[in-house]
């Protein structure tokens, strides 16, 4: 059964575009027969790879309805009661069927019935942010505040909410353009909240189900790339600190923003395999041109059954064609760029 699991994971990685990497020998299939366990100072028994690294491999779900920031109603509270968690999970599980009293915009945002949603569950906290202690993002710097309130930012926000016609695809976010749906750090949404991790000596790869990006993270001492090189998901370098994988990511494209961040965004992710079969995923975000301080969030990743199937976004991106055609009809023109 374990070998079957490995075969399913390998097939999924091949479908996701890792075949060239694996053929080149960077990722060789790892037989679980050689797997052992590592017991740390807190007596946590965790699996390790044949070459001695903590084993993070497998399919994991990070779906959660816990918000990034703490809502005002929970001010001063870090944790929820069991009853509150149950009520929140129930409300999420039935949300799409409770349409009475919704505005037209809220109704459209639900998109379809409950069957298609898979938001995940509450992690029992009032926010994913654990630092600052108030569970809120730090204050933004004055220049960042002015940019967030600028006419151009307001125009883009209105377009992406369907209130104004789009001039071109560049007005839409990266998800609508089928380029990138989940930024760095990895965040949860309404569905497809799965990742698959593969390891080999010197490398870790993280496949994101939506929109099937693969981050190949080297674990050696190679130098960082120069500032002129920007990528949708940045440039990542990793290393081990005891049994925690630490990944530092910089070099983001200027249009690959996260919560209003700039190209100066610096993200440190920490992945720790826990003995209960989860991964503790912790992330610290800093941007000295946007926020007054760095901030940290945490969410547990739960082991999930596979395989992960290819996420194809909308083939040929017909959705974007429809959006721009509708925009041209709305503004009275006949072509789009």
Q: Count how many domains the chain has.
A: 1
Q: Is 69 within the bounds of a domain?
A: no
Q: Is residue 118 part of a domain?
A: no
Residue 309 lies in a domain: yes
For residue 83, being part of any structural domain is answered with no
Task: Give the DSSP letter string of 57-102.
Answer: -EEEE--B-S-SSPPGGGTT--B--HHHHHHHHHHHHTGGG--TT-
pLDDT one digit per residue (tens) for the chain, 337 residues: 333 333 334 333 433 333 333 333 333 333 333 444 444 434 568 999 999 999 999 999 999 999 999 999 999 999 999 999 999 999 988 877 776 677 777 777 777 777 788 899 999 999 999 999 999 999 999 999 999 999 999 999 999 988 899 999 999 999 889 899 999 999 999 899 999 999 999 999 999 999 889 999 999 989 888 989 999 999 999 999 999 999 999 999 999 999 999 999 999 999 999 988 899 999 999 999 999 999 999 999 999 988 998 888 876 778 888 889 999 998 886 544 4
243 in a structural domain: yes
Q: Positive or negative CA dihedral for 47, 50, 52, 54?
A: negative
Non-local CB neighbours of 121 within 8 Å, separated by 6+ positions: 63, 64, 65, 85, 89, 92
User: Is 106 among the domain residues?
Assistant: no
Q: Which residue range(s) make up the domain with 278?
A: 1-64+131-337
| Residue 90 placed within a domain | no
Q: Which long-range contacts (CB under 8 A, 24 or more apart) does 98-104 make?
A: none
Strand 235-241 to 244-250 pairing: antiparallel
In which residue are the tokens 């690959």 written? 256
In a domain, 308, yes or no: yes
């Amino acid at each position: 059964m374990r070998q079957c699991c490995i075969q399913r994971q390998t097939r999924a990685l091949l479908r996701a575009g890792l075949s060239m990497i694996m053929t080149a020998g960077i990722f060789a299939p790892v037989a679980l027969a050689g797997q052992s366990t590592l017991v740390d100072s807190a007596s946590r028994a965790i699996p390790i790879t044949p070459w001695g690294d903590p084993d993070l491999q497998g399919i994991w779900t990070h779906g959660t309805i816990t918000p990034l920031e703490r809502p005002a109603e929970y001010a001063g509270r870090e944790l929820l009661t069991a009853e509150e968690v149950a009520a929140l999970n129930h409300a999420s599980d039935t949300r799409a069927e409770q349409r009475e009293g919704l505005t037209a915009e809220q109704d459209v945002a639900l998109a379809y019935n409950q069957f298609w949603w898979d938001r995940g569950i509450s992690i029992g906290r009032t926010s994913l942010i654990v630092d600052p202690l108030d569970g809120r993002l730090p204050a933004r710097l004055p220049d960042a505040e002015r940019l967030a309130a600028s006419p151009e930012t307001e125009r883009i926000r209105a377009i992406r909410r369907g209130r104004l016609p789009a001039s071109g695809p560049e007005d839409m976010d990266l998800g609508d353009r089928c380029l990138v749906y989940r930024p760095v750090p990895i965040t949860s949404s309404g569905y497809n909240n799965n990742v698959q991790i593969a390891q080999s000596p010197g490398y870790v790869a993280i496949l994101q189900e939506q929109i099937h990006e693969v981050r190949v993270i080297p674990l050696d001492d190679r130098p960082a790339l120069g500032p002129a090189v920007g990528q949708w998901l940045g440039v990542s370098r990793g290393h081990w600190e005891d049994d925690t994988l630490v990944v530092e990511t910089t070099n983001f494209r200027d249009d690959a923003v996260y919560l209003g961040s700039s190209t100066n965004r610096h993200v440190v992710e920490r992945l720790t395999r826990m003995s209960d079969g989860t991964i503790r995923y912790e992330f610290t975000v800093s941007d000295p041109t946007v926020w007054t301080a760095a901030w940290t969030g945490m969410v547990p990743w739960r082991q999930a059954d596979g395989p992960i199937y290819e996420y194809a976004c909308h083939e040929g991106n017909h959705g974007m064609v429809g959006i721009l055609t509708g925009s041209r009809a709305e503004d009275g023109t006949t072509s789009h760029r």
